[in-house]
Chains A and B, each alone.
Chain A
Amino acid sequence: MLALVSPALLVILALIVLPVGWLAWQSIYHDGFTLENYRRVFTEDIYWRSFALTFEISLAVTGIALLLGYPVAYLANSVPKGWSILILSLVVLPFWTSVLVRAYAWLALLQRTGVINQLLRYLDVTSEPLALVHNTFGTVVATVHILLPFMVLPLYATMQKIPSDLMQAGASLGASPSLTFVRVFLPLSLPGVLAGCTMVFVLCLGFYITPELLGGGRTVMVSMLVSRNVELYNQFGAASAVAVVLLLSVLAIFFVVSRFISLDRILGQK
């Protein structure tokens, strides 16, 4: 059996374990051991600000995705099967559209001469075009859009498993629908909330395409810090240290969350 799994394992070892291990090595070794790269990451302003910004954006994106995703998952769970298939298809549809294509669509929608601004002008809401893109706002709008399916699907999967008898039991005992929701349904859906939030947060931490294309150079997220250090400044050591800190953050989050729910539940999507 080990022989059957070894070709795949070899590919994984050679193309992700080895390269990432090398990255980690490079971050502490340059003509001798050095922690200089990490000192820079933790003390220099530009690194700090980028990490702080990335965590802020990831938190905001996760929060917004939860607020938008929960009602949709709830609705999909509470309507007849045909409707729920329709709702879920609409959720998954953008899932299978290239991230690059969606970034382009958001540029087209949000730019100064874009669809949204033309509409606002036509409706006389604004006289000047609003700056909707090439800033943090545009980044968040597009990132939430791309990550929302990762929130809705685990939420829906968890809600599906909540027996509807429980809600009826709550109602028959005299609780109002909103009280049964808060006391019965909401707590039971929390594993899905945790799975969805983890996936969205972790994916957002390493996001690259939307901040690069829609952030207008001002929203420097950690992933952009890594790529700039490689492509523009040839600072391989610094890039590696930033990458290692990012990777450790992600692994730490997965580790903590896996104490509460199984990792399969988080990764089983897509």
Chain B
Amino acid sequence: MTRLSPARIALYVISALVLIYLILPVLIIAPISFSSARFLTFPPPSFSLRWYQQYFSNAAWMQATRVTLTVALLTVVIATPLGVSAAYAISQSKLRIMRLIHMMLLLPLVVPIIITAVGIFFLYAKVGLVATLPGLVLANVMLGLPYVIISVLAGLQSFDQAQEMVARSLGMNRLRSFFAVTLPQIKSSVVAGGIFAFISAMDETIVALFISGGQYQPLTKRMFTALRDEIDPTIAAISTLMTAASFMLVLVASARQKKGG
């Protein structure tokens, strides 16, 4: 199987080139962010932290960071319980309508995000939620729900449901048996789902472009506007920090998923 035929060598070379293409952009940002140059030069002329300084000393960037973190945290706090209870209902119920509901809950993954964004913008304009924090949080809860549901459903699938039946037959009610028996065993997939919802809220850009404004603009909206105007290396510093944050979260999530559930 590992005999080195010309086809095999071609396969290695092509795959290596594709993998370089995939990771090169991710790797290029950090060196730019630590460069002293105003314009992008590579390799960077000298090491400097000025872009990080500029980020941390700029009130607008800091406000945007607070908004992003607040929105992402609130999104997790709301979307996780909603997603867990929905996933539990879907896995337990034999009602036929549940299949339809299951499909509907995955709609945010199917509808092109630009359409969702414009639709939410029209709705928010009517009810006065444009440029507000609750508006941003609600939209991100909706967008994050499918990740929680998919992750928890996968966890519930590998969990032996008979255990909960045993607990109920021993006199626990449904709620207690869920918290005492089921939840501890699917904890990992719940945590993973919550982390995915957090990352999704942290990265969300397009809905925010339409519905956020004033002092409630998340980082991504400010970055997008800045990128449209000029390429400021401050964005490289922010990008590096954001990338580091999501990688750490993904590592935690996948470590938890591997542990079980």
Contact = CB atoms under 8 A, between A and B. Distances in A.
A98 B26 contact: no
A149 B19 CA distance: 11
A75 B15 contact: yes
Contacts of B169: none
Contacts of B88: 4
A240 B117 CA distance: 12
A206 B28 contact: no
A102 B26 contact: yes
Tell me if A's interface is mostly helix, strand, loop or mixed: helix
Contacts of B82: 7-8, 11
A8 B119 contact: no
Given A5-B101, A8-B105, A98-B243, A213 B227 contact: yes
Interface stretch (B54-62, B159-167, B199-207): B199-207
Interface in A69-86: 69, 71-72, 74-75, 78
Interface string B95-122: 1011001011111111111111011111
Interface stretch (A20-28, A32-40, A42-50, A124-132): A20-28
Contacts of B85: 4-5, 7-8
A206 B115 contact: yes
B23 A206 contact: no
B170 interface: no
| Interface residue range, chain A | 35 or more
B114 A101 contact: no
A188 interface: no
A250 to B, nearest CB: 6
A168 B19 CA distance: 29
B105 A9 contact: yes
Contacts of A111: 40, 231
Nearest to A9: B101
B205 A99 contact: yes
B5 A177 contact: yes
Interface string B210-238: 10000000001001100110010001100
B97 to A, nearest CB: 8
A115 B40 contact: yes
Contacts, number: 243
B98 A206 contact: no
Contacts of A148: 18, 22
B46 interface: no
Given A100-B203, A113-B41, A226 B118 contact: yes
A104 B209 CA distance: 17
B11 A23 contact: no
Interface in B114-150: 114-116, 118-123, 138-139, 141-142, 145, 147, 149-150
Contact of B11 (A13, A75, A104): A75
A1 B206 CA distance: 34
Interface in A136-152: 145, 148-149
A256 to B, nearest CB: 14
Contacts of B108: 12, 16
Contact of A108 (B5, B40, B224): B40
A111 B5 CA distance: 39
Given A12-B142, A145-B22, A206 B119 contact: no
B123 A106 contact: no
A105 B25 contact: yes
A113 B123 contact: no
B245 to A, nearest CB: 10
B114 A113 contact: no
Contact of B142 (A16, A74, A209): A16
A127 B124 CA distance: 52
A91 B20 CA distance: 10
Given A7-B85, A15-B120, A96 B112 contact: no
B130 to A, nearest CB: 12
Interface of A: 1-2, 4-5, 7-9, 11-13, 15-20, 22-23, 26, 68-69, 71-72, 74-75, 78, 87, 90-91, 93-94, 96-109, 111, 113-115, 118, 145, 148-149, 177-178, 202, 205-206, 208-209, 212-213, 223, 226-227, 230-231, 236, 239-240, 243, 246-247, 250-251, 254, 263, 267-268, 270
Interface of B: 1, 5, 7, 11-12, 14-15, 18-19, 21-26, 28-29, 32, 39-42, 82-83, 85-86, 88-90, 92-93, 95, 97-98, 101, 103-116, 118-123, 138-139, 141-142, 145, 147, 149-150, 199, 202-203, 205-206, 209-210, 220, 223-224, 227-228, 231, 235-236, 239, 242-243, 246-247, 250
8 contacts: A1-B98, A4-B86, A103-B227, A108-B29, A202-B112, A208-B113, A230-B210, A240-B118
Given A5-B86, A177-B5, 16 more contacts: A5-B98, A8-B82, A9-B105, A12-B105, A15-B141, A26-B122, A68-B21, A93-B23, A104-B235, A111-B231, A202-B112, A208-B114, A227-B118, A243-B119, A247-B112, A247-B115
